[in-house]
């Protein structure tokens, strides 16, 4: 690795440390979308961009663009980017690693005195973590002018204020977002590259520092679903007369496990997760037959057809359980995202660089969603580079070895400076 790249990675490490120090929220870090932590991170990046002499721009939704102007700026340009927000009490690397990888590439190019033919833009994407607003890929969809206007009326989970109100408070332009104003034009983008820590254990167990993602799973979610039965006395209501919401919900979970078993027998990859489950604390009691269970359901797969198969089997299971148990399921609003297939040629260039450097890089799908999918589904050649992570994601113990990060930065640097990339 060149001295310029080593210095650039050292800069990124200092920025990681600064973000951790200023956004720590024990037991982890918190950078809420359109909140104080995300705003602090944007301020740090703007300051760094000035030091690197990058041009700065902000779109209607608050996405930040830091550009190293190329020799032929009219050519479609490169974008390297990710999000900078986090889940509550999460880790320091999820999202931020992709932004700081772009900063490191730009810093290395500046130190080398190298000017690319094309513009190189680091994009700092707003509000990727839908734990804050129940909208997938909020910032990147707004950048392309495809965020539904109704999304502006969704409320942030902690404040209860709408997305529109949060945007207005920070001086952004929600009316332009609602009108579909687009900052990004797919025809003006040569390629998009996102670096992200892997959010599972595959790379660590395979002893591979780098993963090159083939596709990103789509999803459907029911965030506020309920199973509704009838409350009753635990000793006085015989089994035959019960409408027990907990038992009915448990049967639903078992039915979805059987659906998952069938998918695996058919060679289909998917995940089915009940991330939140609870009875109503205002009504539940030790001696009551429970009359209500609230839950959320998150289903993901790379195949749109598989996603619809799961949904059809889900509805069939619900109908059977409702009939047998005398309960009713109120699933609420269905939200979700589209699956994406990533660009094979761009992935191949990254793989070739890894081979030249003697680095093990394995191809793998992403079960988690990433802004890369929005770019890919808009027809932009897009790549997602995973970096080995020892402790999972969305938790305070989230990890990433800086040498693995440095390896990924070197791969991306090689990609954007290669003659074939012109």
Residues 255 and 395 grouped into a single domain: no
Note whether 289 and 212 are within 8 A (CB): no
What pLDDT sits at residue 221? 95
Residues 7 and 77 grouped into a single domain: yes
User: Which of 281, 312, 337 delimits the end of a domain?
Assistant: 337
Residues 85 and 178 grouped into a single domain: yes
| Count of the separate structural domains present in the chain | 2
d(CA 394, CA 417): 33
Print the domain residue range for 91.
Answer: 3-217+339-421
Residues 6+ apart with CB under 8 A from 405: 9, 12, 97, 101, 195, 387
What pLDDT sits at residue 418? 84
Note whether 195 and 101 are within 8 A (CB): yes
Note whether 129 and 85 are within 8 A (CB): yes
What pLDDT sits at residue 422? 40
Residues 70 and 21 grouped into a single domain: yes
d(CA 93, CA 350): 22
DSSP 279-337: E-TTT--TTEE--EEEEEEEEEES-HHHHHHHHHHHHHHHHHHHHHHT-EEE---EEEE
Residues 75 and 37 grouped into a single domain: yes
Note whether 191 and 343 are within 8 A (CB): yes
Residues 286 and 225 grouped into a single domain: yes
- How do residues 109-154 score in pLDDT, each as one tens digit? 999 999 999 999 999 999 999 999 999 999 999 999 999 999 999 9
Which residue, among 63, 19, 17, has the nearest Cα to 37 in the 3D structure? Answer: 19
Residues 277 and 205 grouped into a single domain: no
User: Which of 337, 356, 382 delimits the end of a domain?
Assistant: 337
What pLDDT sits at residue 385? 98
Residues in the chain: 422
DSSP 23-85: HEETTEE---TTSHHHHHHHHHHHHHHHHTT-EEEE-TT--EEEEE--SSTTS-EEEEEEE--
Residues 353 and 333 grouped into a single domain: no
- How do residues 90-104 score in pLDDT, each as one tens digit? 999 999 999 999 999
Count of C-beta atoms within a 10 Å radius of residue 348:
12
Question: Which CATH number do you get for residue 382?
Answer: 3.40.630.10
What pLDDT sits at residue 419? 54
176 three-class SS:
helix
Residues 31 and 176 grouped into a single domain: yes
**pLDDT more than 90, % of the chain:** 94
Question: Which CATH number do you get for residue 328?
Answer: 3.30.70.360
- How do residues 344-381 score in pLDDT, each as one tens digit? 999 999 999 999 999 999 999 998 889 999 999 999 99
What pLDDT sits at residue 1? 86
pTM as predicted: 0.86
The two three-digit tokens of residue 370, written as one number: 């990433």
User: Which of 318, 337, 356 delimits the end of a domain?
Assistant: 337
Number of H helices, E strands in the chain: 12, 18
Note whether 411 and 353 are within 8 A (CB): yes
What pLDDT sits at residue 392? 86
Residues β-bridged to residue 29: 24, 90
Residues 89 and 79 grouped into a single domain: yes
- How do residues 188-242 score in pLDDT, each as one tens digit? 999 999 999 999 899 999 999 999 999 999 999 999 999 999 999 999 999 999 9
Residues 40 and 91 grouped into a single domain: yes
Q: How far is CA 133 from CA 152, 155, 157, 422, in A?
A: 10, 6, 6, 38
Residues β-bridged to residue 363: 212
Contacts 24+ apart (CB under 8 A), 47-56: 48/11, 48/15, 48/103, 49/122, 52/103, 52/106, 52/107, 52/110, 53/110, 54/106, 54/122
d(CA 45, CA 102): 11
Residues 7 and 66 grouped into a single domain: yes
């Amino acid at each position: 690795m060149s001295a310029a790249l080593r210095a650039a990675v050292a800069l990124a490490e200092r920025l990681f440390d600064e973000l951790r120090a200023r956004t720590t929220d024990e037991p982890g870090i918190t950078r809420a979308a359109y909140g104080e932590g995300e705003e602090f991170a944007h301020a740090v990046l703007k300051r760094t961009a000035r030091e690197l002499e990058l041009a700065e721009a902000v779109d209607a939704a608050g996405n930040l663009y830091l550009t190293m102007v190329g020799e032929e700026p009219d050519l479609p340009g490169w974008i390297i980017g990710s999000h900078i927000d986090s889940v509550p009490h999460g880790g320091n690397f999820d999202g931020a690693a992709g932004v700081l990888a772009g900063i490191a590439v730009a810093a290395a190019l500046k130190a080398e005195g190298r000017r690319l033919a094309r513009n190189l833009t680091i994009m700092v994407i707003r509000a990727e973590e839908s734990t804050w607003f129940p909208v997938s890929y909020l910032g990147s969809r707004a950048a392309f002018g495809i965020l539904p206007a109704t999304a502006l009326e969704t409320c942030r989970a902690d404040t209860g204020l709408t997305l529109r109100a949060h945007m207005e408070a920070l001086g952004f332009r929600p009316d332009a977002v609602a009108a579909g104003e687009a900052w990004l034009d797919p025809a003006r983008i040569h390629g998009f590259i996102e670096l992200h820590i892997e959010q599972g254990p595959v790379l660590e167990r395979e002893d591979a520092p780098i993963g090159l993602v083939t596709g990103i799973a789509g999803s459907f979610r029911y965030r506020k679903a309920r199973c509704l039965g009838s409350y009753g006395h635990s000793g006085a209501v015989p089994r035959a007369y019960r409408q027990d919401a907990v038992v009915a919900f448990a049967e639903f979970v078992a039915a979805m496990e059987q659906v998952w078993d069938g998918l695996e027998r058919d060679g289909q990859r998917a995940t089915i997760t009940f991330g939140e489950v609870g009875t109503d604390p205002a009504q539940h009691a030790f001696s009551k037959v429970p009359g209500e269970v609230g839950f959320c359901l998150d289903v993901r797969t790379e195949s749109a057809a598989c996603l619809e198969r799961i949904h059809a089997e889900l509805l069939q299971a619900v109908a059977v359980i409702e009939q047998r148990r005398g309960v009713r399921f109120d699933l609420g609003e269905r939200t979700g995202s589209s699956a994406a297939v990533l660009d094979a040629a761009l992935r191949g260039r990254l793989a070739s660089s890894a081979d030249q450097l003697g680095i093990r890089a394995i191809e793998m799908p992403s079960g988690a969603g990433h802004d890369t999918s929005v770019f890919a589904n808009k027809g932009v050649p897009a790549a997602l580079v995973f970096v080995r992570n020892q402790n999972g994601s969305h938790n305070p113990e989230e990890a990433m070895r800086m040498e693995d990060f440095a390896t990924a930065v070197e791969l991306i640097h090689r990609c954007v400076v290669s003659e074939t990339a012109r």
